[in-house]
Chains A and B, each alone.
Chain A
Amino acid sequence: MKKLVLCLFLLSQSVHAEIEVYQFANPEVELRYQSLTEELRCLVCQNQNIADSHAELAQDLRRKVYEKLNSGETNEQIIAYMTERYGDFVLYRPPFNTRTLILWLAPVLTLLIGGIGFWSLLKRRENSTEEKLSDTELADLNKLLQTKMGNKK
C-alpha cells in the first residue's frame, strides 16, 4: 500500500512538472485551446499531439497557440499559421485534397473490395449447393426414408 501511494505520488509529480499552466479569459477559449493542441502534431515526437508532448518544440507551439487565441485569432487562422510553416503534417486530421486522396479513400475502397469479394463468395456458395444427386444415390435415399417412415408407423 505504501509503495502504491509512493508510485502515485511520483507519477503525479512528473505530470505536473512539464505542463505549463495558462490562464484563460473564459472557458470557451480554454476549450478551443484544448481542441487545437489535441489536433496539432508535434514534429519532434511525431506520434504525439502537442497537448501530450513534453518536447520543447511542443511547448513553444502550445505557447504560440495560446498567444494567438488571446490576440483573438480564429481556429482557422491558427491552423493556417501552423500549416504554412510545417505543412499538412502537423494536422492530425489532414485536409481532403489530391495529395491525401488515397489516405482518405483507402478505408472506403478496402471495405468496398472486401464487400464485393465476400458477396461473390456467398453467391458462388449458393450456386454450388444445388448439386444433383445421381440416380443410384436418389434411390438409396428414398429407400432410407421409406424404412425410417415405416419404423415410425
Chain B
Amino acid sequence: MKLRFLLPLGAFLIMVVFLAIGLNLDPHEVPSPLIGKAAPAFTLPQLHEPQKTFSPADMKGKVWLLNVWASWCASCRQEHVFFTEFARANSSVNLIGLNYKDEPAAGMQWLAKLGNPYLLSISDNQGTAGLDWGVYGVPETFVIDKKGMIRYKQTGPVDLAILQTVIMPLLEKLNAEVNE
C-alpha cells in the first residue's frame, strides 16, 4: 500500500533527473556527422594572394587545422588571442583560416590589426565551402588528419583549455599515425 503512494514521487524524481540533464545540454552544439569522413573538397582563392588557390587536397599527408573565422564575428576576436599565442608557441602546426562570408579587404584588415596566426587564409566570401563543411556558427575549428579525414570539430570559440586538453593531444596522436 505504501509503495503505491511512493510511485508518483518516484516518477516525479525520474522526470526531474531527465529535465536536469536536458537543461544542461547545449542545443546549439549539434554533433557533426562529418567526423570520421573525408573533408569536403573545394577550390577557393587565398585571401592574401587571390591569384593562388587552395584546396584541402593540397594538405594531403599533413595534419592540419581549419579555423573558420570572419571579421564580423565577435567571438572570433575572443578566440583569436589564443590562436595567435598557440601558433607562436607551436610553429609546426598547420593552421589554415577560412574567411567565411566576409569581404576580403575587411578580413585582411582584421588580420593586420589583430595578428595573423594562419599559414594562409582562404577567401570564402559566398560561404559555399562553409556550407559544404556544415558550418553553422562561426567560429568553428576542424582537425583534419593525414588522410584528409575530419577527426574533430569545435563549434564556437576555442579557448586555452580546449587547445591544451583536446586539440594538442589530438594533434600529437594524429601526427604519430602512419600515413598509408
* A binding-site residues for B, Cβ under 8 Å: 43-44, 46, 56-57, 60-61, 64, 83-87, 89
Q: How far apart are the CA atoms of A89 and B28 in the complex, in Å?
A: 11
- Asked if B30 contacts A44 (CB within 8 A), the reply is no
Q: Which residue of A lies closest to B132 (CB)?
A: A85
The A interface is mostly helix, strand or loop, or mixed, namely helix
Q: Tell whether A87 pairs with B136 under 8 Å between CB atoms, given A60-B127, A60-B131, A61-B131.
A: no
Q: Is B80 engaged at the interface, CB distance under 8 Å to the other chain?
A: no
Q: A46 — which chain B residues lie within 8 A by C-beta? A: 27-28
- Asked if A57 contacts B136 (CB within 8 A), the reply is yes
Q: Tell whether A43 pairs with B30 under 8 Å between CB atoms, given A60-B127, A85-B133, A86-B134.
A: yes
Q: How far apart are the CA atoms of A64 and B127 in the complex, in Å?
A: 11
- Asked if A43 contacts B137 (CB within 8 A), the reply is yes
The size of the chain B interface, using a CB distance under 8 A, is: 17
Shortest CB-to-CB span from B111 to chain A, Å, is: 22
* B binding-site residues for A, Cβ under 8 Å: 27-28, 30-34, 37, 40, 101, 127, 131-134, 136-137
Q: Tell whether A84 pairs with B33 under 8 Å between CB atoms, given A43-B137, A46-B28, A56-B101.
A: yes
- Asked if B31 contacts A44 (CB within 8 A), the reply is no
Q: B34 — which chain A residues lie within 8 A by C-beta? A: 84-85
Q: Which residue of A lies closest to B135 (CB)?
A: A57
Q: How far apart are the CA atoms of A58 and B150 in the complex, in Å?
A: 24
Q: How far apart are the CA atoms of A84 and B38 in the complex, in Å?
A: 11
Q: B137 — which chain A residues lie within 8 A by C-beta? A: 43-44
Q: Which residue of A lies closest to B128 (CB)?
A: A60
- Asked if A64 contacts B131 (CB within 8 A), the reply is yes
Q: B37 — which chain A residues lie within 8 A by C-beta? A: 84
Q: How far apart are the CA atoms of A61 and B27 in the complex, in Å?
A: 20
- Asked if A89 contacts B132 (CB within 8 A), the reply is no
Instruction: List 9 extra interface pairs beyond A60-B131, A83-B33, A86-B32, CB under 8 A.
Output: A43-B136, A43-B137, A46-B28, A56-B127, A84-B37, A85-B33, A85-B131, A86-B136, A87-B33
**10 A-B pairs with least C-beta separation:** A85-B134, A43-B136, A87-B33, A89-B30, A86-B134, A57-B136, A60-B131, A60-B127, A46-B27, A87-B30
